[in-house]
Amino acid sequence: MKKTFLILLVSTFWINMVAQDTDSSVVQIQPTIIIMPQTKSGENALTLYESDPSKWQAVIDRIKYALQKRHFEPIDLQDQIEQVKRDNSLTSLADAKINVAEAIYASARADFIIKCRIDIHKETDGAISVSVSMDCIEASSRKSKATFPMKTSPSFKNPNIGFIVDRLLKENNAVESFINDIDKAFKRIIKNGKEITFEIFLQTESQFKLTDEVGDDYETIKDLLVVWIKKNAYKNISKPLQSNGNKSLRYSINIPLRDEYGNNYDINDFQKSLEIALAKICTKQLGSRVSRPHGTWIEGTLQIPMP
């Protein structure tokens, strides 16, 4: 019998920077982490965790401890679950009609998601072995930044699963190498900004098209959006992504970690700026005020409907 669990470690970083644009910046990083189990088999692991948290708490605690020693500061998973339940008037996660994992990501305001897969293998004689692997993903772009290759323990009878996981993390300093790779990835993000993906798309009720011309220069709404993107991309880092012809505009763009006043730059601030820019372009095309559209984040992509 084999049960497979994915554990997502969601990391939010608080950064103190002397100067974000220089390589000599002094950076102090204090990450916080939330660990979220998911099953590979299709079962809802968060529901399983809610129904029997003590069974998996030993595993989660070992991973939390390994990361705490390296200055990661975990967020309590149970607190986040309770918050999502309150926000959505749920008595149990089994009743949820929403994507609970995505709701927790939004609540935790993550910079990184570390997917930790834990396979618990039960032999016919009752012996148990454990396999562990991890993948660090930038939450904003959903791109992999560091990996912890799969490691498997010998089989034990009546084992302490948490102890086995701890041994696997420490074996050949594997977790040290993994955390070092995360640090390197985050330093690159500090230097170049974090990448986000967005899509502006037509819907049935849209009044405007991306190909509509604006003003007397024969530039289209799409042309002016691209100008805005290039002007607002941090360190001029942006690139077009495959779109659905003239029915959508998809782009990857880097945004800074800090705003001009030294405050953390929230992705919601970028969303607001892009929505306002789109509304102003459409207002110019129509000649009268157009209401600002409101986008939603779906699995790491900002999706904004055309007005």
Percent of the chain at pLDDT exceeding 90: 33
Express each pLDDT in 21-63 by its tens digit.
444 444 454 556 777 776 666 667 788 778 776 667 777 777 7
Q: How far apart are CA 23 and CA 115, in angstroms?
A: 30
pLDDT at residue 253 above 90? yes
Least confident of 41-50, 116-125, 128-137, 229-238: 41-50
Q: What CA–CA distance (Å, rounded) separates 223 from 50?
A: 49
- pLDDT for the residue 271: 95
The burial class, CB within 10 Å (0-12 / 13-18 / 19+), for 57 is middle
What does pTM read for this prediction?
Answer: 0.78
The answer to whether the beta carbons of residues 130 and 165 sit under 8 Å apart is yes
User: pLDDT tens digits, residue range 134-167?
Assistant: 888 888 888 899 899 989 988 888 777 778 888 8
- Distance between CA atoms of 110 and 75, rounded to whole angstroms? 11
* Other beta carbons less than 10 A from residue 100's beta carbon: 22
Q: Does residue 83 sit in helix, strand or coil?
A: helix
Residue 15 scores a pLDDT above 70 = no
Domains and CATH numbers, the chain: 2-191 (no CATH), 193-305 (3.30.1360)
What is the bridge-based pairing of β-strands 194-201 and 27-39? Answer: unpaired
Q: 50: which strand partners?
A: none
* Rg of the chain, C-alpha, whole Å: 23
Element (H, E) at 185: helix 174-192
**Residue 307, both tokens:** 């007005």
Higher pLDDT, 228 or 122: 228
The pLDDT value recorded for residue 30 is 55
Give residue 276's pLDDT: 97
- Mean pLDDT taken over the chain: 83
- pLDDT at position 31, please? 52
Helix (H, G, I), strand (E, B) or coil at 224: helix
**In this structure, are residues 75 and 108 in contact, taking their beta carbons and an 8 Å threshold?**
yes
Give the neighbor-by-neighbor strand order of the sheet with 143-152.
73-75, 27-39, 2-17, 112-122, 128-138, 143-152
Between 21 and 94, the higher pLDDT residue? 94
How far is Cα 27 from Cα 16, in angstroms, rounded to an integer?
Answer: 6
The reported pLDDT for the residue numbered 137 is 83
pLDDT band at 17 (very low <50, low <70, confident <90, very high): very low
pLDDT in tens, 178-228: 888 988 888 898 889 999 999 999 999 999 999 999 988 899 999 999 999
Q: 53-57, 76-80, 105-109, 120-124: lowest mean pLDDT where?
A: 53-57
